[in-house]
Copies of this chain bind each other. A is one copy, B any other.
Amino acid sequence: MRTVANLIADRRDGIVQPYDDFVQLSSGAAGGTIPDYQLAAWLMAAYLKPLTLQETIDLTRAMAESGDKLDLRALPLPHVDKHSTGGVGDKATLIVLPILAASGVTCVKMSGRGLGITGGTIDKLESVPGFNTSLSPLQMVEQANRIGIALSGQSPALAPADKALYSLRDVTQTVGSVPLIVSSILSKKLAGGSKTIVLDVKCGSGAFMTGLKEARLLSNWLIQVGQALGLDCRVAISDMDQPLGAVGNALEVRQARKILSGEWVDPGTARVRELCLLLAGEALWAAGLCGDASEGYGKAQECLETGLAFKKASAWFAAQGGSLDAELPTAPNMMVLRATCSGWVSRIEAETVGRVVVNLGGGRMVKSDVIDPSVGVEVHRPVGEKVSVGDALFTIHSRDLAGLEEARKTLLSSIVVQEQPCGSPPLILDHDVSTF
């Protein structure tokens, strides 16, 4: 075995590293036998001397092998996992998973918490009283076997190397490296057991990948690395220049419930619903339950409209100790921001809206921050919508009046209403599928 110093020096000098190096790094990170400062130095070297495709495949495999793996063989086929690279207001998992499970797909999924402007599914679900987001691998498999769906926070036993490396990347400015992002995502997926994965790569001001070029690069690497590791990855690059509907944990669960129950009215919610149908369509196609994504879209729509998805979501929430009908926390102060001129919404900055919600207390700046699930911002009119004077643009939910006022000012600067009509930007900007 080489010394850790050798591993760092080779990375620093841009020398291609063999699989064994990544095994050594991953097990050292997972077992705590390599000190953080050496891992941090390696990570910065890896940021500045990026891993090759083969190295990324090797690192991903090594991280997946650093702990246990979920064994899904006892579960009914097909299995599909879904992953989003993270954005502002992205609650698609809460709708897509019940649609899939109601359509006969087994969904066993691990999710994360939010950080900065990026939300996390676990935080959203924890706004539901009693919802248990910490299932053991055994509990997940048992529940998925029973109702076709199980979701939990990342198990410390699965891909522990990723957990250690990710928490270091977060504080050493080494998050934004495509090989490191890919290995982080896919090592968890590999350990999670599903062979088919629908990846929603977010692109825009509220996402990590702000431009389409970077998003395409990430997608392409996800496909290639996934394929080398036996994963059938389907990537949809979706728009994150504007927020995806409501932002704030309880508000997002409420919006998901409205979509599932069919009680939605505003154009903001319609846009979220549309993305969920597109992603579910991709997943049903990937699962082999239909001939193409548009047929899948139709099946997903039917599943929503017949209430089957709602029923499945109810069973899911109940199985994990919550209730889809539960009363969710509400913030004591509310304010509706209305249009002061007529025209068309031509821009809503996702990044700014995300920051407003963090400042209201609905997100974390550092991991140890405690979040308030009740606060947030509803976004009623997406880009492309016609508005008249007095139409509701945003609803702010805040703990205090000062927060309302601060949010109001910032939100007004985040939206542009113009006199000329402008089209709705597409929800899905691009696709990429592996050649399985």
Query: Which residues of A pack against B, CB within 8 Å?
Result: 5, 8-9, 12, 35-45, 47-49, 168, 171-174
Contacts and interface: CB of A to CB of B under 8 A. Distances in A.
A121 to B, nearest CB: 25
Contact of A40 (B40, B47, B49): B40
Contacts of A35: 36, 171
Contacts of A45: 44, 48
Contact of A44 (B5, B36, B44, B171): B44
A350 B152 CA distance: 59
A193 to B, nearest CB: 31
B12 A47 contact: yes
A15 B250 CA distance: 41
A173 B48 contact: no
A49 B47 CA distance: 12
Contacts of A39: 37
Contacts of A168: 37
A326 B54 CA distance: 62
Contact of A172 (B41, B171, B173, B174): B41
Given A5-B173, A173-B5, A41 B40 contact: yes
A38 B40 contact: yes
A38 B8 contact: no
Given A8-B172, A12-B174, A48-B49, 12 more contacts: A5-B173, A12-B44, A12-B47, A36-B37, A37-B168, A37-B172, A38-B40, A38-B171, A40-B41, A40-B44, A41-B44, A42-B44
A171 to B, nearest CB: 6
Contacts of A48: 12, 44-45, 48-49
Find the residue from A37, A48, A171 having the highest chain B CB count within 10 A: A37
Contacts of A12: 44, 47-48, 173-174
Contacts of A172: 8, 37-38, 40-41
A272 B36 CA distance: 43
B173 A37 contact: no
Nearest to A46: B44
A405 to B, nearest CB: 26
Contacts of A49: 48
13 contacts: A5-B171, A8-B172, A9-B173, A12-B174, A37-B39, A37-B40, A38-B171, A38-B172, A40-B41, A40-B44, A41-B172, A42-B44, A45-B48
Contact of A171 (B37, B171, B173, B174): B37
B174 A41 contact: yes
Contacts of A37: 36-37, 39-40, 168, 171-172
Given A12-B47, A48-B49, A49-B48, A173 B41 contact: yes
Contacts of A5: 171, 173
Contacts of A42: 44
Nearest to A41: B172
A204 to B, nearest CB: 21
A105 B252 CA distance: 76
A394 B375 CA distance: 79
A219 to B, nearest CB: 24
A234 to B, nearest CB: 33
Nearest to A8: B173
A37 B45 CA distance: 13
Nearest to A7: B173
A86 B37 CA distance: 26
A38 B38 CA distance: 10
Find the residue from A9, A35, A40, A45 having the highest chain B CB count within 10 A: A40
B43 A41 contact: yes
Find the residue from A43, A45, A173, A174 having the highest chain B CB count within 10 A: A173
